[in-house]
Amino acid sequence: PPPLPPPPPAGPRARADDLEAAQECYAQRVADLLACGHRVVGLGGGHEIAYASFAGLARHLSRHERLPRIGILNFDAHFDLRHAERASSGTPFRQIAELCQASDWPFAYCCLGISRLSNTAALFDQAQRLGVRYLLDRQLQPWNLERSEAFLDGFLQSVDHLYLTVCLDVLPAAQAPGVSAPSAHGVEMPVVEHLVRRAKASGKLRLADIAELNPQLDSDQRTARIAARLVDSLVN
């Protein structure tokens, strides 16, 4: 690929706590990397990178397509559709929904691993209003894998481009302790990895993230090793 241009300046708005400015810088970097033909995998940190990743992918695709059909596949215990005055790791997919509405694009969001006890009734209502497709953590079990595959395949068939993001708190706490909200139930790593590989095999994957890793909370680097294994599944 051609050499990558230098990153854009952060600008006068950028401060240590200015998440929106950081997201804008990140989004432009993603768009530049994609334009140069690179395969992009984002690493977090908080899941607030999801909005920046999607914005960068949308910016890149809109140069070539008037109405790109981008599907968002999120492995997560949480919808992350919260309303708040400021952006946070709990707001990225609500921000994406607003971006899609402003651009008159479809909001195609599929979330696998939702914990019923970790999301409020208001968030489930919001997900229904926005047409979010989801499976609960207790539905994503090895004995139910065929149904999960069919659910995922149906979503993949409805989109042209895929943005895949994994929030590590989707995994059981014993497998991924290094997250801000360890899961009491979660989805086992073999199921997550299998579905990640299936999504990649669709040929529609354009961008991926692994998010919500906090090394200070990790134990024996278990979460980091899980994250590294998932990155390997995405790129090899």
HEC string for the chain: CCCCCCCCCCCCCCCCCCHHHHHHHHHHHHHHHHHCCCCCEEECCCCCHHHHHHHHHHHHHCCCCCCCCEEEEEECCCCCCCCCCCCCCCCHHHHHHHHHHHHCCCCEEEEEEECHHHCCHHHHHHHHHCCCEEEEHHHCCHHHHHHHHHHHHHHHHCCCEEEEEEEHHHCECCCCCCCCCCECCCCCHHHHHHHHHHHHHCCCEEEEEEECCCHHHCCCCHHHHHHHHHHHHHHC
Question: What pLDDT is recorded for position 89?
Answer: 66
Question: What pLDDT is recorded for position 19?
Answer: 82
Mean pLDDT by 10 residues, the chain (236 residues): 50 60 92 95 92 95 90 96 72 92 94 96 96 97 96 98 97 95 94 98 97 94 97 93
Question: What pLDDT is recorded for position 87?
Answer: 67
User: Cα(211)–Cα(228) distance, rounded to whole angstroms?
Assistant: 11
Contacts of 132 (CB under 8 A, 6+ apart): 79, 81, 109, 110, 111
16 Cα distance to chain centroid = 23
- Against a cut of 0.85, is the pTM above it? yes
Pairing of strands 70-75, 161-167: parallel
Tell me which DSSP letter residue 185 carries.
S
Question: What pLDDT is recorded for position 134?
Answer: 98
Question: What pLDDT is recorded for position 14?
Answer: 47
